[in-house]
Amino acid sequence: MAISMMEAYTIELLKNHPYTFEQIKHFIENDELHLLTNSYDIDTDSLRILLKENAKEMEQAFAGNYEVKFVTMNGLKNLLRMRFQISDDQYELLAEGNGLHFLQVDSITEQQIRGMLSSNWKVERSGEQITLYV
């Protein structure tokens, strides 16, 4: 499922807090999204639309099976932090400003990152490290 950067942020924010997909679905279906917005500044309209268009795909996205339609450099850094708990001190930015390198991740995390990135991003492995760039 291809989603926007903001939808990915929203999903990752909710996943890192005590909400299951079934709870989120219940809030949306029962028009109780205010229970979420009281705690977080999120775009509830996008959640409502995602669920209405395809609940199964939204559940897959909530499980981490999504591609972000357009990933910016700052968006990448934020998603690495939110989804994989990868902080800024775990990689270096490329001198050109179009990516990052020296990121040590296992092959499973690498595949999840590859699946999340839009097609304009490249991922290369060199030993224990990967480089991500546009």
SS3 72: coil
Query: pLDDT confidence of 20, banded at 50, 70, 90?
Result: confident
Query: pLDDT confidence of 39, banded at 50, 70, 90?
Result: low
Q: How far apart are CA 40 and CA 106, in angstroms?
A: 32
Express each pLDDT in 59-88 by its tens digit.
999 999 999 999 999 999 999 999 999 999
Average pLDDT of the segment spanning 109-131? 96
As a whole number of Å, the CA-based R_g of the chain is 16
Express each pLDDT in 102-117 by its tens digit.
999 999 999 999 999 9
Look-up of token digits 């850094």: 77
Among positive and negative, which fits the CA dihedral 13, 16, 17, 21?
Answer: positive
Q: Name, in order, each residue with C-beta under 8 angstroms of 92's C-beta and a sequence gap of 6 or more.
A: 100, 101, 102
pTM of the model: 0.87
pLDDT at 75: 95
42: left (phi over 0), alpha (psi -120 to 50) or beta: beta
